[in-house]
Chains A and B, each alone.
Chain A
Amino acid sequence: MMKKIISILVRNHPGVLSHVAGLFTRRGYNIESIAAGETENPDVTRITIVVAGDETILEQVTKQLRKLIDVIKVQDLSYSKSITRELVLLTIFSPAERRAEVINVVNTFDATMVDIADKTVTLEFVGNARKVSTIMKALEGFKVKEIARTGLVALPLESQAERNPNMI
Chain B
Amino acid sequence: MTTGKKTGSQLVVQGLIDEGVETIFGFPGGAVIPIYDVLYDAPVRHILTRHEQGAAHAADGYARATGRTGVCLATSGPGATNLVTGLSNAYMDSVPMVALTGQVAVPMIGNDSFQEADIYGITIPITKHNYLVKDINQLQRVIKEAFHIAKTGRPGPVLIDIPKDIQTFEVKARKIGEVRLPGYTPSTKGHPRQIEAIVRAIRNARRPVIYAGGGVIASGASAELKKFVRKSNIPITTTLMGKGAYPDGDPLSLGMPGMHGTKYSNYAIHEADLIMAMGVRFDDRVAGNVQKFAPLAKIIHIDIDPAEIGKRMAVDIPIVGDLKSILVMLNQKIETQTRKRWLERIDRLKEEYPLTYEKSGAVKPQFIIQTLSEMTKGQIIVSTDVGQHQMWAALFYQTTEPRRFLSSGGAGTMGYGFPAAIGAQVGQPDIPVVALCGDGSFQMCIQELATVRMYNIPVKIFIFNNGYLGMVRQWQEIFNDRRYSSTHLEFNPDFCKVAAGYEIPAFRVTQTAKVKPTIDKVLNMEGPVLVDFRVAPEENVIPMIPPGGGQTEFIGEGEDEE
Instruction: Please report A residues at the B interface, Cβ cutoff 8 Å.
Output: 10-11, 15, 18-19, 22-23, 25-26, 56, 59-60, 63-64, 66-73
Contacts and interface: CB of A to CB of B under 8 A. Distances in A.
B507 interface: no
B549 to A, nearest CB: 22
Interface of B: 120-121, 124-125, 128-130, 132, 149, 181-184, 305-307, 309-311
B183 A71 contact: yes
Given A11-B183, A72-B182, 4 more contacts: A25-B125, A66-B307, A69-B184, A71-B183
Contacts of B125: 22-23, 25-26
Contacts of A26: 125
Contact of A69 (B149, B305, B306, B307): B149
Q: Which 5 A-B pairs have the closest CB atoms?
A: A63-B307, A72-B183, A26-B125, A69-B129, A22-B124
Contact of A59 (B129, B184, B310): B310
A165 B552 CA distance: 49
5 contacts: A10-B183, A26-B125, A63-B306, A66-B306, A66-B307
A72 B182 CA distance: 6
Contacts of A23: 125
Nearest to A56: B310
Most chain A beta-carbon neighbours within 10 Å: one of B121, B125, B181, B309 = B125
Q: Which of B124, B149, B306, B311 has the most CB of A within 10 A?
A: B124
Nearest to A74: B183
Contacts of B305: 67
A33 to B, nearest CB: 21
Contact of B307 (A10, A19, A60, A70): A60
A123 B41 CA distance: 67
Contact of A73 (B130, B183, B306): B183
Contacts of A59: 310
A80 to B, nearest CB: 25
Contacts of B124: 15, 18-19, 22
B307 A68 contact: no
B183 A68 contact: yes
A15 B120 contact: yes
Contacts of A10: 183
B137 to A, nearest CB: 14
Contacts of B181: 69
